[in-house]
Amino acid sequence: MVDRPNKPSAIAPAASAPQPTVDIADDNSSITATLPSGENVTVLLHGATVTSWKSGPGAEKKENLWVSEKAVLDGSKPVRGGIPLVFPIFGAPPANHATSKLPQHGFARNLRWEYLGKSTSESTTSGDAGTGPTDNSVKLDFGLYSANLTDEQQDQWPYDFGLVYSVTLSRDTLQTMLNVRNEGQLGFDFQMLLHTYFRIGDIGSTAITGLSGVTYTDKVLNATEHAQAENAVRIAGETDRVYKRIPQSTTSIVEGDKPRFDVVRDNLPDTVVWNPFKEKAAAMADFAPDGDYVHMVCVEAGYVSDWVRLEPGDTWEGGQRLRSLL
């Protein structure tokens, strides 16, 4: 065998790219996922409520969601802020309906969900495969089942179901999707809503676009029906509107003349726009500071103007993709 004087050096194994991390709170109350680039999301197991979503350029990430300083996070009541999940009824239940015994907004936001685990993905965004910068994402799954209901709740809504709620964080987006399975022998009707509280600079310079021509129910004006004439919805007083069967999939929040958020609905036809404004905010015990109504607006994707009918063995999925436009 010939001895080569200049042997090639061994090829060092490629360093593995940083991966998203997932941390469980010491008291087992919440899950936080963080990308290598610093974006993060926190989900409270009570209600599977997203309580924080931070993103943006630079090392200091900006909070995208508003949560009241007096929000109750111990599981004794729903969270005022973040993204509470409404199921299987939106608002007060109608009389003589299968949901009529349930409390307002149902039970999903009031119960502790099970953390089912995480999955991660990585995609090359530029350059040759394996050489360009990559985008990471991490998906957190949470479960709630009919067996988790109390005896009283099972009496109020006696159906066998399984819910899987997936929260997926990527660099500038947060996706929240709900999968509903009918695991029983009876069909059932339900509604769902993602009650998202966005943090904004000033409600006076904020507009919601993408709703022009859409019919809405104005709950402040005795649930009367109206058509949205202007492209931009501006808030100058208490606002509680249900925009129904919206043809386009994207609704946007604009601050001044700059887009701030896009809300892209997936299999959800409706959007609720809500701000309590001065007097109602002051009257709400868990809304603080009182004047913070100027720093929040709810743009809530949902299926609430009608019912989803789910027969035995069937599944349904719907949700939203939020994009921060910093």
Binding-site residue numbers for substrate are: 80, 104, 109
Catalytic residue flag (residue 97): no
| 258-281 exposure pattern, b = at least 16 Cβ within 10 A, e = fewer | eebbbbbbeebbbbbbbbbbeeeb
CA separation, residue 195 to residues 27, 75, 78, 171, 274 (Å): 26, 17, 11, 22, 9
Cα separation, 318 vs 33, whole angstroms: 22
Catalytic residue flag (residue 300): yes
Q: Are 215 and 223 in contact (CB under 8 A)?
A: no
φ/ψ (deg, to 5) at 196: -80, 125
Q: Are 291 and 267 in contact (CB under 8 A)?
A: no
Parallel/antiparallel/unpaired status of strands 239-243 and 85-86: unpaired
Closest residue by Cα to residue 301 from 321, 285, 323? 321
Q: Which of 183, 300, 311, 317 is catalytic?
A: 300
Cα distance from N-terminal residue to C-terminal residue, the chain: 63
Query: Could you check whether the bond before residue 88 is cis, i.e. omega within 30 degrees of 0?
Result: yes
Residue 13 carries which DSSP code? P
Closest residue by Cα to residue 65 from 300, 310, 315, 314? 300
Q: Which of 39, 46, 105, 195 is catalytic?
A: 195
Q: Are 318 and 177 in contact (CB under 8 A)?
A: yes
- As annotated, the binding site includes 80, 104, 109
Residues serving a catalytic function are: 195, 300
